[in-house]
Structure 1
Amino acid sequence: MNQSMNQLNELIEITRDGQRFYQHAADEVKDVELQHLFRDLAQAKTQIIQALSVKVATSHEHPSQGGTLTGRMRELYANTRSRIGDHDRAYVDQLEQTEANILHAFENAVGDAEPDVRALLAIELPKLRTCHERMRQLKEARH
């Protein structure tokens, strides 16, 4: 597998972490508005994963199907925090950090990417920035 496809698979895994975390958090939080927001953001991640997976598949490679250990640990940490503190705030805080990590990974990848991959990432980056901004604003409003 070439470097570009490895890079895309890493981004798929990081984005899948966010998708799974949002889905889990939507099931855990009590606030109906948060449930809707988390489901919307999980869907946004699904669309990004699909776009990246298509690119990997068209290069005759296998798109990653998993996530990362770091993503799973962040989810477990939020679960623990939610049990000993402000339930919804624990998820908001950790999901905002997850968004920041995803955005950072994509921004770093753009500089190293081949032109066709860079073009794909340029399409997805505004979506990621919007997701991060929504969570950042939510986090600030809850503090």
Structure 2
Amino acid sequence: MNNDDTVAILNDLIEISKDGEEGFRTSAELVNDENLKKTFLERAEGCKKAVTVLQNKVKELGVNYPAQSGSVLGSLHRGWLNINMVLSDNDSTVLEGCERAEEVAKDVYTKALEQELPEEVRRVVQHQYEELLKNYELVRNLRNTHDATRKN
């Protein structure tokens, strides 16, 4: 794999991680539950750190301007969350949206890991993928718990 291909993959990961950061921040603003707000803000910070690591990797590969923002799809998803919250006014909707967003991020990271990345880049991407899986499990468990609580 050449340098340009590696940078393109890293920039895709930067975009999806920025989407995660912005998505978790938006979610924190939308939910009523204070524990969810705190959790979402913590996850946003984790995504922000991941972005910084990925941007530094791009710079190490000789590119001075790594991706700086999320994707259009991420912006649309956050808009969808805002509209749905106005219509439904419950935290479950936000949790469902977060879970879907984390599924998309898992797919992007999985595709990146299927590529022939330089070993140092692969280690970083693998580590971030494992953290993403923890986020996904956390969000899924929070949604399941929240749904079960609402039913009782």
Q: What interval of TM-score do these two structures reach, taking the shorter chain for normalisation?
A: over 0.9
Contiguous gaps of at least 5 residues in structure 2: 148-152
TM-score (norm 2): 0.88
Q: In terms of Rg, which structure is larger? A: 2
Q: For residues 66 and 12 of structure 2, what CA distance do their matches in structure 1 show?
A: 10
Deviation string for 1:13-34 (max 9, x for gaps)?
0110110011122122221001
Shift of 1:113: 3.4
Q: For residues 113 and 135 of structure 1, what CA distance do their matches in structure 2 show?
A: 30
Letter in 2 for 1:81: N
- 1:125 pairs with 129, 142, 151, which one? 129
Contact 2:30 2:85 in 1 (8 A): no
SS of corresponding position for 2:67: coil
Letter in 1 for 2:85: S
Q: For residues 51 and 103 of structure 1, what CA distance do their matches in structure 2 show?
A: 18
Q: For residues 146 and 95 of structure 2, what CA distance do their matches in structure 1 show?
A: 9
Equivalenced residue count is 143
Q: For residues 17 and 113 of structure 1, what CA distance do their matches in structure 2 show?
A: 25
1:66 aligns with 2:98: no
Shift of 1:111: 1.1
> What RMSD, in angstroms, separates the aligned Cα atoms of the two structures?
1.3
Aligned to 2:52: 50
Aligned to 2:114: 111
Contact 2:99 2:139 in 1 (8 A): yes
1:134 aligns with 2:131: no
Contiguous gaps of at least 5 residues in structure 1: none
Seq. identity, %: 24
Shift of 1:87: 2.7
Letter in 2 for 1:127: E
Letter in 1 for 2:43: L
- 2:103 pairs with 88, 100, 121, which one? 100
Aligned to 2:14: 12
